[in-house]
């Protein structure tokens, strides 16, 4: 594999931001846990196209009202334009301004979240969380026993669905690794 990794002057490894998502994630996986932590911190601070759009709309509204109060009522055009952009964003979940920021190089929130999720998987955040295959199906067990199948205790590695859902939601809210609660 060709590495797109370079050593920064401060001793930290940086992966190229110009490659595909797969190339960036592979480079970070190769660079190790410290590089993943560093990149996740960068992603938390990254401005998305949606965030930049909302900031510009807010500035239009505040500056427009300020200029209206200080100078001339014609400056109400700025908050009106900001309101139009805000309404357009509200009803379509995208906006002309957002697309313009995306064209300028800002990534969408979905693109940033996709990279964050891939890095968290690599870091091992979800290793101890139950999957659908780990959830105990009481109906299947009772049906099996009712049909004359093996009547043994369910596998200890199985997790109750409610406990699995709680663990997954707690991990999603906190972004930390959580132990699995056994049934």
Question: pLDDT, tens digit, for every residue of 68-112?
Answer: 999 999 999 999 999 999 898 888 877 889 899 999 999 998 889
Of the pLDDT bands very low, low, confident and very high (cuts 50, 70, 90), residue 2 is very low
Helices (H), the chain: 21-31, 33-45, 49-70, 77-92, 96-103, 109-123, 138-146, 161-174
Among left, alpha and beta (phi > 0; psi -120 to 50; other), residue 145 is alpha
For residue 1, pLDDT over 50 is answered with: no
Cα distance between residue 172 and residue 48, in whole Å? 20
Q: What is the full DSSP assignment across 150-174?
A: ---PPPTT-B-HHHHHHHHHHHHHH
Query: Would you state the structure tokens that stand for residue 133, as one six-digit string?
Result: 């295959």
Both tokens of 152, joined, read: 């043994």
Residues 3 and 25 sit within 8 Å (Cβ to Cβ): no
pLDDT of residue 31: 84
Chain centroid to Cα 168, Å, comes to 15
Given this model, what pLDDT does residue 174 score?
62
Q: Quick one: tokens of 45?
A: 């601070």
Q: How confident is the model at residue 3 (pLDDT cuts 50, 70, 90)?
A: very low
Note the pLDDT of residue 182. 46
Higher-confidence residue: 5 or 15? 15
Query: Which burial class, exposed, middle or buried, applies to 149 when counting CB atoms under 10 A from its CB (0-12, 13-18, 19+)?
Result: exposed
The yes-or-no verdict on residue 67 having pLDDT over 80 is yes
Write down the pLDDT at residue 27.
85
Q: How confident is the model at residue 26 (pLDDT cuts 50, 70, 90)?
A: confident
| Predicted local distance difference test score (pLDDT) of residue 61 | 94
Q: 155 or 134: whose pLDDT is higher?
A: 134
pTM of the model: 0.64
- Whether the pLDDT of residue 41 is over 80: the answer is yes
Q: How far is CA 123 from CA 51, 168, 172, 174, 176, in A?
A: 27, 16, 14, 15, 10
């Amino acid at each position: 594999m060709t590495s797109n990794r370079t050593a920064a002057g401060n001793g930290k490894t940086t992966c190229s931001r110009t490659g595909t998502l797969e190339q960036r994630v592979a480079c970070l996986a190769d660079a190790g846990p410290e590089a993943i932590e560093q990149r996740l911190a960068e992603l938390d601070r990254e401005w998305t196209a949606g965030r930049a759009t909302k900031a510009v709309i807010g500035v239009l509204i505040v500056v427009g009202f300020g200029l209206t109060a200080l100078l001339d009522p014609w400056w109400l055009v700025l908050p009106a334009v900001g309101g139009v952009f805000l309404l357009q964003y509200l009803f379509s979940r995208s906006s002309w301004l957002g697309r313009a920021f995306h064209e300028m190089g800002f990534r969408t929130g979905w693109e940033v979240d996709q990279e964050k999720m891939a890095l968290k998987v690599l870091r091992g955040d979800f290793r101890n969380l139950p999957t659908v295959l780990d959830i105990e199906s009481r109906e299947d067990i009772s049906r099996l026993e009712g049909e004359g199948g093996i009547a043994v205790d369910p596998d200890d590695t199985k997790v109750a669905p409610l406990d699995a859902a709680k663990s997954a939601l707690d991990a999603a809210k906190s972004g930390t690794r959580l132990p699995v609660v056994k049934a």
